[in-house]
Amino acid sequence: MLRKSPLVIGHRGAPGYRPEHSRSSYELALATGVDAVEPDVVATKDGVLVVRHENEISGTTDVARHPEFADRRTTKRVDGEALTGWFTEDFTWAELSTLRVRERLPEIRPASALGDDAEPILRLVDVLDLVRRAAREQEREIGVVLEVKHATYFASVGLDLAPLIERDLRLAGWPDEGLPLIVESFESTVLGQLRERGIPASVVYLIEASGRPYDQVVAHGRQASSYTATVTAAGLDGLVGRVDGISVDKRMLLARGTTIVDDAHARGLTVFTWTCRPENAFLAPEHRSDGGKAAFGDYPGEWDVIARTGVDGVFVDHPDLGVEFFRA
């Protein structure tokens, strides 16, 4: 585990300025001095781990402009939700490598969208190489916070993510590199599987502000515990020994009277939060300014509330602002 507090983590690189998960997004984040970057991983048909926000890629790539892939458009249920589009597990890596990435939120981040259609999709091993190179060039410790996406769903279509993650980490020499690795997921099952495989990483359980973990819904149906129950005293007690920390929706830390950080720390658990963004669209109402959704609001005011909770790590979309504020 990295030792600075709070850690400033480039969320999918620097998506406030470049299309998320692109090479330029990660390079910019690393250049601004973040402590770590966060790739989301999903799988291709032939078992290659690629970094995408979701396995449905119509909004983050130019796939719709490729007539050769028109017949791949379909509707699936992912984590119980019906989605229509193109899915990574229906493509080989050779096919996906022909696509180019796009800004996911062009109406909020038009400047980032200027980088559309210019860069290919990255694999997990590509991001690991970028981080290793930056750590050597900058002569400092830089970590990776690897988010595992939709593990239960991928297992249901014959793509178990845990062995693929272990394969890529070992292929990239990451366990031997000595750089910090944190693995996180909204599903505790895959975190346990990775621990059983001896992956040398800290394990962090992602917590939504509402709803239930999909792996627990599949296993227990209506008896599955909610995310909010997980951050009660009893819920946190149940995490001790199973994970090293939790990562919560920032709304849970902005709630008046919250004791989540103190309660977790009392049990030896670290606490991260996501995602610190400056635009009005993502700020709590009391911190918004005039100018519309894309305008920057009083993000320092909101971030100050978050920092005062004693949180151990923050995910940011604008790494320069995050480093400037949380390192001040």
Say which residues have a Cβ less than 8 Å from residue 9's Cβ, sequence separation at least 6. Answer: 34, 35, 36, 37, 38, 145, 272, 313, 314, 315, 316
Looking at residue 169, what is its pLDDT?
95
pLDDT at 286 > cutoff 90? yes
Percent of the chain with pLDDT over 90: 94
pLDDT in tens, 165-185: 999 999 998 877 778 999 999
Looking at residue 4, what is its pLDDT?
63
Looking at residue 178, what is its pLDDT?
79
Taking CA atoms, 50 is separated from 194, 220, 258, in Å, by 18, 30, 36
The mean per-residue pLDDT over the stretch 47-67 comes to: 98
Of the pLDDT bands very low, low, confident and very high (cuts 50, 70, 90), residue 3 is: low
* H helix count then E strand count, the chain: 15, 12
In 3D space, the residue among 260, 154, 162 whose CA is nearest the CA of residue 214 turns out to be 154
In 3D space, the residue among 162, 143, 91, 163 whose CA is nearest the CA of residue 121 turns out to be 91
Of the pLDDT bands very low, low, confident and very high (cuts 50, 70, 90), residue 328 is: confident
Domain 7-54+120-326 is found in CATH 3.30.470.20: no
pLDDT in tens, 189-223: 999 999 999 988 999 999 999 999 999 999 999 99
Of the pLDDT bands very low, low, confident and very high (cuts 50, 70, 90), residue 225 is: very high
For residues 230 and 170, what is the distance between their CA atoms, to the nearest angstrom?
32
pLDDT at 1 > cutoff 70? no
DSSP 65: G
The mean per-residue pLDDT over the stretch 227-242 comes to: 97
Of the pLDDT bands very low, low, confident and very high (cuts 50, 70, 90), residue 2 is: low
In 3D space, the residue among 274, 215, 230, 217 whose CA is nearest the CA of residue 249 turns out to be 274
pLDDT in tens, 78-131: 999 999 999 999 999 999 999 999 999 999 999 999 999 999 999 999 999 999
Give me the residue spans of the domains in the chain. 7-54+120-326
Q: At what angle do helices 319-326 and 299-307 cross, to 10 degrees?
A: 50
Work out the mean pLDDT of the chain and round it to a whole number.
96
